[in-house]
Each structure stands twice: as structure tokens, then as C-alpha cells.
Structure 1
Amino acid sequence: MLFRSTTDTHTDLDRVTAVTVDEPVGWIPADRYLEELKEGMYRPEWTWIAEDGDRVVARALWWGHADGEHPLALDCLYVDPSVPDRAAVGAGLITAGLRAFAEQGATKPPLYNLTLPTGWRQDPAVVAALDWRHEAARAAGLTDQVERLRLEWTPDAGLPVSSGRLTFTEGSDEEFLDVFRRIAVGSLDGETRRNLASMGAEATAREEVDFYLGCPGERSWWRLARTPDGQVAGLALPSATPYNRNVGYLGVVPELRGQGYVDDVLAEITRVQVEAGAELITATTDTDNAPMAAAFARAGYRTAQTRMIYSVPEASETASEASEGSPAASAAAS
């Protein structure tokens, strides 16, 4: 079996777009692939196939920013049901792609982002579709697994009410860097905790600031949260992806947690987004971060999907001289 990236030819393009996925998990249909291929978010060299003779039996689509040099995430993994060991072929395809990206200078292996419907554990078809992909990801070295909720706010939920206890002001990058550094301590967000353990507070904070500065959202949306006496209580970073407005990042400093300030910060982010014209605001949080999930529920955000995210453990990345944080939006507060 041959694992290879595609070429910029009509033959390869036709074969890639002919693939359809009938399993109940997130996948990339031909129209979306073609649209984002034109924008540079999918690319022939980031699109990999497995060939058995003249037949395509597997496909892996990696996604990245239109102006990015390397892919950030595996968006869609498919192996034909006729293949006896789908997990083994999927693992081989992922491994081949990750090896090529590393040889091309990628400093961190892209993660694998698999979208599942809510309540997926009660659906045997979803469980079966996840099982072989789970095995493939782990066999390819993506052994760090996080389950995240994808949430949505729409106008029918109404604007969340703020208590009025906090004021929100603009700040410099260095001020935001300092607050990022502080809120990383004791965070329940899995990505933040992993980065903190592997890189330390300073590098974690710098990475978060740099990441959000590179997002499509406006820098002018960022706010520092302050108590009536001027004490910094946290931060609110409304942001955006190429697809939607999102919550971005929010956090409360450790010494002020447990007082409900997270509700005020989330209300401010929602207000800023709505005033900027948002009709849909998305957010993600780890399923383990129960306080943040509860805050989203109180603010009228509903769970729309579940995402299973697989990545190379930080220790392995360090050994291979890799760094840089996940593009997944975070909500770090408790």
C-alpha cells in the first residue's frame, strides 16, 4: 500500500473529492474542501491518500491558516470499510503525513480534531466510527487525548446579565501577558495545564498572546477586567476563527476565583461580540472543566458538538524540538 500526498492535478483532485463518509462523525465534503483549497486552508501537499493499486482506500485532510507555512490540524480521516484493518491503515497514513511535515520544518505535529455529536456514547454507530480512528491516532503517536465541548450562543438566548461588579478597560500586550501568566496558575483548562507543565508560565503566556494576536478577531476587542478599586480580576479576549466569532479566551486571577466573576467576564465577551455584529458566537471548553461549562450554560450557551482532540504529548514534542500551542480556543477560569 502506498501512502502519499496529492499533487496539483485534476486526477488527484477528482479522486480526493470523490470520497464520501457515511459514518456519523464530522467530515469534510467536496464543496467545502474545494472552497478552502482555493483559499489555501487545504493544500495538495497537506492532503494525503492511501492507494491499493489504482484504488484510493484512505484519505487524510490536514488544515491550516491560509497564510500558514504548515498545517495545524487533521480535520478528516477516512479509511474505506472494505479495508480489513482500518486502524492500521489510518495510522500509517497519519504517520506518513506527520513525518513529511516534520521534514518540511514543522515544529509541532498537527493535532487530530474529530467532531462527534452530543450524546455520542449512547450511539453504537458513533462509538464504532470513533474506535478505529482512536486506535489509528494513538498508533501514530497522538496519544494525548482531550474531550471538549463546542458551545454556541445565538440571539434567542438573550444577552447574559452582568452583575456590574467589574469594569473593563483596554490594555497593552504586556499587561495582557502579565494576566495570562497569572491565570495559568491553577487553570482547569487541559491545554493550559499541559503547556504550563512543559514550558512554564512565561512561555505559556507569551504563546497565548501571540496566538490570539494572529487570529482573525480584532485586537481592539480585548479587555482587562477590574474590580471597583482598580485591581485586575482577569481578562476577556473576544476572538474569531475563519468561520465564526468566538469567545476566544477568558480567565480570572487565582485570588479572585470562586466569586462568580467568570459570569461577568463571559457576559462582557458576549456583549462585545454582539455589538460587533455577531449572530453566532462559538466557544469550547474541556469536559473536565465543569465550572467553565456551568458558566457557559448560565450565559445561554448550548452544547452543539463534542470534539475529541488527539495530539503528541508535550514530552515527545520537547524531545523532537517542537513547540507552539494548539489552535483550539480556550476558556480558562474556575
Structure 2
Amino acid sequence: MSPSSALPRLSSVAGPGAGPGAELDQVLGLTSSEPVWRLPADAYRAEAAQRQYRPEWTWAAWGPDGRVLARALWWGQGDSAHPLALDCLAVADDVPAVDRASLAAGLLDAGHAAFLEAGADAPPLYNLMKLPGGWREDPAHVAAVAWRQEAARRAGLTVEVERLQFEWTPEAPLPAAPERLVFSPEPDDEAFLAAMRRVAEGTLDAHTLESEAAHGPEATARESLEFYLDRPGKREWWRLAHTPDGALAGLAIPSATPYARNVGYLGVVPELRGRGYVGEILAAITRFHAADGAERVTATTDLSNHPMAAAFARAGYTSTEVRLIFSAPVHPG
């Protein structure tokens, strides 16, 4: 039955009347022939054991006959109080194309309302992952993305950024060791905060620009500092980069995700850009992870940040996927 002819039930699998596991089995069993990536059931269960997926973050739209019409799977870190991102949004194949955006938007609205009621500050972003580089040339991908874009917008996630995902593996040559910069640890978070403010000047990163416009450079830098302090990477990995005469050149924050080592945060102060220092900082981060036995180092940058994408390519990183990130606008205050 089309969602347009009967209102679906929207609930998490932890909601009232949910069975101990039967509803979750139904949600994870939803299939779709669309080319967009969907989270496999075994991956969900493995990460649910680490509390990265949870029943209260797992939402579905149920038809009058008890079938799952759509599902939304939100993700967080094991110690997250609230979900950080929507990882998977899918509808059943028999849901008419004209109904998909409205059905999915209603599902996102219901989930967002529950998260905000539970104390979340804002709706989680939607991370539409694993799109191929030429996805706009494939009508099936274009159609699958279109209704998801519309659903995200209707649910208030009106800021869209396209990002490139990169990775380095030991099969690629190591970038050459830095020769012009000196990297040193710095235990004072305020020193890193000051460096973050400096490297953010003139940034091409869309999120940083939006946050600075709403909250100013100081609050944006502090948000970045707190974000990386909360990642699985260790604080003692962080380094400031200086020229031999002691001038601050930039910073290197090697990091990690629950799945792999990660480039994290790097940047060059405005007055020293255009000298190739970004390559040296990226090389330092890559070589640090490689020396520690990393089998994969991931990284992302905005599609529009051509200098950073070129730096990844020079350092032996391969572009592996495109991601569309939908988020709620950052409001002043």
C-alpha cells in the first residue's frame, strides 16, 4: 500500500509496543535495488554490540499491513549521548517514487524530534556515503540521490556539502619526510586553539566558514578543538609545525575513527601558504600513522577544496568515494 493512501506508523525499534527483536529483524531485512549503499545487517549487529547503533536510534516507517516501508539508521560513538549522523536511509522498492521523499522526511522528522526531546542540541547530519565519482552520469544514482536530497531538505537539513573521501594504504609509497618544518608536541590546548584560529583564516572548508559566520572564529576553533579531543585518536599525537627560525607554520592533528586511522586536522597559516608546507604536514601525519602500523589512513575534503585534494593525490592517497553531507543550518547565538 502506498504511504500516500494510509498513514504509516513511525517509530524506533525501542518504541512502545516494539518486540524484543522481531521489529529489528524486519528493519534490517528491508531490501532495495537502488545503487546507493545500505548498511548490511551483520555490520549493524557488530557495531550495535559496541553501542554505535542503538534501538532508540533505529527508526522505521511501518505500513498498515506491518511491512517496513522505510528505515533510518543513525550512528554514534560508543560513548555518545546522542546520535552523530544518519548513516543509512532506504525505502522499499514497492514504495512509489512520488512518495519516497515525503515518507522519508516524515521519518527523519520523527527521529529528530525524539533526539531533541532527549537533549540533543541539533538534528544529526545525514552522511550519504559511498557514491562513485561519476554518480551524476548514472540516471539510477541521480534518482536515488534526488529523493534523499529532498527528504533531507524537508526535514531541515538544508545545508549540503559534497566531500571527497581519500585513503592511503601501505601499498602506496610513503611521502618523503618533511625537510623544511620542525614538528613539536605542545601540551597546552590553548596553544593549539590559537593555531586553529590562524589556519582557519581564509579557509576553503564549508563547515568552518558557516560556523565562523554564525559564531565567530573563537567559538569555531574551540568547537574543532573539542571535536578532536573527543575522537578515538590520542592527544599526545598532536604537533605544531614551525619553520627553522621558530615561526608558526601550521598544525598537524593525526586522528582516528572507530574504523581506521585518520588524517584529522591540518593547516598552514595564511602568510606561509603556497610554499608546499601543506604537503610536508600531510607527510608528517601519514608517516606517523604508517610508523605505528596503520593499515589504512582515511581523509576527507570538500569537493571545492582543490588544493587539498591535490595534496592528497601527491602524497599517494587514492580517492575512494564521494559523500553528500546534509546538515541543519548553524544559527547565531
TM-score by length of 2: 0.93
Name segments (4+ residues, structure 1) moved above 4 Å: none
For 1:76 and 1:21, locate their aligned partners in 2 and report how far apart those are by CA, in whole Å.
12
Q: What's the counterpart of residue 284 of structure 2? A: 268
CA contact (8 A) 1:20 1:29 kept: no
For 2:279 and 2:34, locate their aligned partners in 1 and report how far apart those are by CA, in whole Å.
38
Q: What's the counterpart of residue 332 of structure 1? A: none
Please tell me whether residue 250 in structure 1 is matched to residue 279 in structure 2: no
Q: What's the counterpart of residue 36 of structure 1? A: 47
Q: What's the counterpart of residue 290 of structure 1? A: 306
Aligned with 2:56 (options 45, 50, 73): 45
CA contact (8 A) 2:100 2:147 kept: yes
For 1:275 and 1:21, locate their aligned partners in 2 and report how far apart those are by CA, in whole Å.
42
Q: What's the counterpart of residue 118 of structure 2? A: 104
CA contact (8 A) 2:36 2:144 kept: yes
CA contact (8 A) 2:178 2:281 kept: no
CA contact (8 A) 2:229 2:235 kept: yes
Any residues of structure 2 matched to 1:193-232 within 5 Å, and which?
193-232=209-248
Q: What's the counterpart of residue 84 of structure 2? A: 72
Please tell me whether residue 157 in structure 1 is matched to residue 133 in structure 2: no
Q: What's the counterpart of residue 13 of structure 2? A: 6
Sequence identity, in percent? 59
Letter in 2 for 1:117: P
The Cα of 1:5 is off from its aligned counterpart by 1.0
For 1:163 and 1:76, locate their aligned partners in 2 and report how far apart those are by CA, in whole Å.
40
For 1:314 and 1:94, locate their aligned partners in 2 and report how far apart those are by CA, in whole Å.
18
How many pairs were matched up?
317
Aligned with 1:302 (options 318, 321, 325): 318
Q: What's the counterpart of residue 157 of structure 2? A: 142
The Cα of 1:127 is off from its aligned counterpart by 1.1
CA contact (8 A) 2:165 2:300 kept: yes
Aligned with 2:136 (options 111, 116, 121): 121
Aligned with 1:191 (options 200, 207, 213): 207
Letter in 2 for 1:186: G
For 1:196 and 1:275, locate their aligned partners in 2 and report how far apart those are by CA, in whole Å.
35
Please tell me whether residue 20 in structure 1 is matched to residue 17 in structure 2: no
Who wins on radius of gyration, i.e. which is larger?
A: 2
The Cα of 1:20 is off from its aligned counterpart by 2.6
Please tell me whether residue 63 in structure 1 is matched to residue 78 in structure 2: no
For 1:184 and 1:284, locate their aligned partners in 2 and report how far apart those are by CA, in whole Å.
17
CA contact (8 A) 1:233 1:253 kept: yes
Q: Deviations over 1:20-40 (max 9, x none)?
A: 333222221100111111111
CA contact (8 A) 1:184 1:196 kept: no
Letter in 1 for 2:139: P
Structure 1 stretches of 5 or more lacking a match? Answer: 322-334
Q: Deviations over 1:116-136 (max 9, x none)?
A: 122111222111111111111
CA contact (8 A) 1:149 1:306 kept: yes
Q: What's the counterpart of residue 3 of structure 2? A: none
For 1:281 and 1:145, locate their aligned partners in 2 and report how far apart those are by CA, in whole Å.
25
Structure 2 stretches of 5 or more lacking a match? Answer: 1-7
Please tell me whether residue 94 in structure 1 is matched to residue 105 in structure 2: no
The Cα of 1:163 is off from its aligned counterpart by 4.8
For 1:14 and 1:200, locate their aligned partners in 2 and report how far apart those are by CA, in whole Å.
46
Q: Deviations over 1:88-124 (max 9, x none)?
A: 1011101111111111110021000001122111222
CA contact (8 A) 1:244 1:281 kept: yes
SS in 1 for 2:82: coil
For 1:215 and 1:148, locate their aligned partners in 2 and report how far apart those are by CA, in whole Å.
20
Q: 1:163 to 1:269 in 2, by over 3 A?
A: closer
For 2:28 and 2:41, locate their aligned partners in 1 and report how far apart those are by CA, in whole Å.
5
The Cα of 1:246 is off from its aligned counterpart by 0.7
